[in-house]
Amino acid sequence: MTRALVLGGGGVTGVAWEWGLIAGLAQRGVSLDAADVVVGTSAGSVVGAQLRSGEPVSRWYDAERVGGSTSGEVSARFGVAQVARLVWAGSWTRDERRARARIGALALAARTEPEEVRRAVIAARLPGSGWPAGRLSVTAVEAVSGEFVVFDAGSGVSLVDAVGASCAVPGVWPPVTIGGRRYVDGGVRSLVNADLAAGADRVVVVAPASSSFGPMPRLSAQVAGLRAAGARVVVVRPDRAARAAIGRNVLDQGRRAGAARAGFAQAGAVCAAVAAVWG
């Protein structure tokens, strides 16, 4: 039996909510850190790298529930206007790769903080620069071509750069340079990328955000594909209380503590459904 944990994107509040949920489930005897495969996109890549580090779940949850950060990360604005720009850029074609390239072009043209400043923030978030022993897949998109890429321990890319690329929200954070190419957020292809769990028998999808637009693959279709292949799948999204705690700006540092606590509380309501799939 192969178990896959899919961790989706959702900004700094998504990181916090995911850790709250994971910690709450662990307290109830459901250990998602026992996954054979972890797929991380954007916020999920941060959580995936931390989860795979071997450090106690409580360490990461405690850091989120108090809203503290030693990474130097600051709040940024990612609201309706920013989302509308991405939707506009990616909705002019039915070709997925071309749509991603249009969003990549927007990211390359945006004025952001220097790449090295953002890299230092990502490095401070992670337990180390080396890839963990367990299988971890981190998603990103090449900004010029729109190519969807999946980094792992065999890619020859540092964990810091892979996670930084996956978290490079277009128009907010700078694209990440790897091997002379520029990469942006894996959420440009899909906020969840659940289809990368193909081949697993049991799949838990943790999705702080799951909306899609234009030719982006829908989470519902990804899950249907996994189930059609014989996998048991459960999807956990923020409940009403968690959505209220997260708020409208997923890059608001001030919302981290509330989002983490909301995830921890929500674990009680979803524990049985998750345990039924996880085993």
Chain length of the chain: 279
Cβ atoms within 10 Å, residue 26: 18
Cβ burial, residue 115 (10 Å; 0-12/13-18/19+): middle
All residues at 6 or more sequence positions from 55 whose CB lies less than 8 Å from its CB, including other chains = 127
Catalytic residue among 33, 45, 161, 185: 185
Cβ atoms within 10 Å, residue 91: 14
Catalytic residue among 33, 42, 137, 212: 42
Element (H, E) at 176: strand 176-178
185 tagged catalytic: yes
Cβ burial, residue 262 (10 Å; 0-12/13-18/19+): buried
All residues at 6 or more sequence positions from 199 whose CB lies less than 8 Å from its CB, including other chains = 2, 229
42 tagged catalytic: yes
Tokens at residue 86, please? 């991405």
- Positions marked catalytic: 42, 185
